[in-house]
Structure formats: C-alpha cells, structure tokens
Homo-oligomer: A and B are copies of this chain.
Amino acid sequence: MGTPSVGDLGEFGLIAALTARLPQGPGVLLGPGDDAAVVAAPDGRVVATTDLLVADRHFRRDWSTPHDVGRKAAAANLADVAAMGATPTALLVGFAAPADLPAAWAEEFAAGLAAECAPVGASVVGGDVVRAEQLLVAITALGDLGGVPAVTRDGARPGDVVAVCGTLGASAAGLAVLSAGVRGHQSLVQAHRTPTPPYAAGPAAARLGVHALIDVSDGLLADLGHVAERSGVAVDLDSSAFVPSEELRAAAAELGASATQWMLTGGEDHALAGCFAPDVELPDGWVRVGRVHAGSGVTVDGSVPTGVAGWDHFR
C-alpha cells in the first residue's frame, strides 16, 4: 500500500475528503453537495471574481507546501473582493490534477483554503474536481458590499492622495531568494508563500469614500497604471515614501538587486492601493505614497520609471 492518489480516491471519494476539510460559516445557506451552493447576499448585490493558478507557473510544489498554495490561491481572490470595498463571503474551487497526485496534497491544499478564509468569515462552498495533465486550480470568490458603493479603478481625481495599505516587495524578494537558491531570508520567503493582504482595509476605505481602489497583484506601478488609465489621470509617486524594510535591504544587498524596485514592481503581496480625497484622514495602516494629477501615466518623482513592465500571463 503506497500513499493514495487522487485517482485512487476517485471523483466522489476525493470530493468527500476535500469537503471534510471545509467548515461552513454562518453566511452559507447551502454548502457543498448539491447542484449549486446558496450564499447569503444581504446587500442585494454580489461581488464576484475568478483566478486560475497553474503549477510551475503560479506556484511550485517544491517551493511551497500544499497548505501554502491553498492559502495563497484563496488570498489572491479574497484580496480582489476587498479591493472592491466588499467583505468576502465564499469561494468556489475547481481542482484539476493528474491522477497520480497524492490525495494528501489535495487535502492539505483544501485545508489551506479554509485557513485563509476563516479569519475573514468566508467559506469554501462548492467546487469541481477533474483529471488533467497539469495541476491547476480555479478559484472564484464572492463578496458582499454591506451597503457601500463598489469602489472601482476609474474614480481617481486630480488632487487625490495615493496611499498603500499592506506589504510591498516582500513576495518578489522571497521569489528572488528562492530562485537564487540562497539560504535565509525566511520572512521574505514566507511572504512569497503566504501573502497577508489587508482584507479589512478595503471595506473600511470604501466606508470612508475612497475614490479608487485596486489590489496590487501585477506590481504597484503597473496597477496604478491601470487606475491612471481608467480614471483618465496621472499618478506621481514620491520615492521617499518607499522605505525598504531591513529584511528587504539585506536580501537586495546579497542578491545584487534593488529593494525599491521590488517595492515598485513586485506583485503578489496583494497590498491595496487607493486614491483618497485630499482632506480625508488616512485610516491606520495606510501610507501616503503619491498624488494624483491631471494628465496620464505613472511617474516617480516626476520621471517615467524604466524597466518596470508588469506581469503578462501569456508571455
């Protein structure tokens, strides 16, 4: 008897094993096991987003535990919900895997999803499992706006303060550490494996009337570029606002990299970037990093930054 694979369990056995790892919270009116789930949407609107993560492209099984991959896959989607100003309520998960994947990998992945969901009050309410050549997970997250207007990317106005809540650059630095195969820098490596988005900051900013909000997943410059383009404005960042942590400086020194570059172009930390009216007192956790102007594009200290292409999932 070896370790059982997902193929050994079969579709219904695998679903039962995964479902056992997925506790259902109070907003779940009907959880896994029927044709569809039913989730409370008290606001009368539902926020919905979906992401695909492919093995060896978005995560590596030799670099991350299955629990880490589950947490990160959930985080990427929950952060998108938060970036609309909404509170996450539910995930649905499509799981495609080769038949020889150890069943324990799938079970720990599910436990990681549940672990990331629990603190925000969300639940994994449904999913699908299929056999495929390549390990791939498809996550859909739902959220509730709780009476606030959805915060889009197109509401930034000249004069707004640009601010960031959450970590910048740590995930990119952790990835660089893993890629270089050097030792140490465990806090950065862990930041790459399991980002910690500031979920509650999204709805809190929405209640304050933030003009525009975005999840930083492609890198701050690229994502603020989306805000600038959609809002028809220019964003200028103040380089002095980007103070690397001690850990980031140490890793940059060892790898011959730029800590500031990691902060400006690294994605996957899932910080939130927002554009606030100039008279708003920024809530705790937000750091002022720049200003919105008339015009177009993103500059740093008034100059166009170089070598900062964002991530393209098809290149």
A-side residues, CB < 8 A to B, are 6-7, 9-12, 14, 29-30, 33-54, 57-58, 80-81, 83-84, 86, 90, 92-96, 99, 125-134, 136, 138, 140-143, 145, 150, 152-153, 213-215, 230, 312-315
Contacts and interface: CB of A to CB of B under 8 A. Distances in A.
B44 A83 contact: no
Contact of A128 (B7, B29, B43, B52): B52
The number of times this chain is found in the oligomer is: 2
A49 B37 contact: yes
A93 B50 contact: yes
Contact of A39 (B46, B132, B213): B46
B34 A40 contact: no
B36 A84 contact: yes
List the 7 closest pairs (A to B, CB-CB), nearest first: A138-B138, A36-B49, A41-B41, A35-B83, A50-B92, A140-B140, A52-B94
Contact of A44 (B41, B129, B136): B41
Contact of A30 (B54, B80, B152): B152
Contacts of A132: 52, 54, 57, 134, 136
A96 to B, nearest CB: 5
B50 A152 contact: no
A133 B133 contact: yes
A62 to B, nearest CB: 18
A11 B44 contact: no
B128 A51 contact: yes
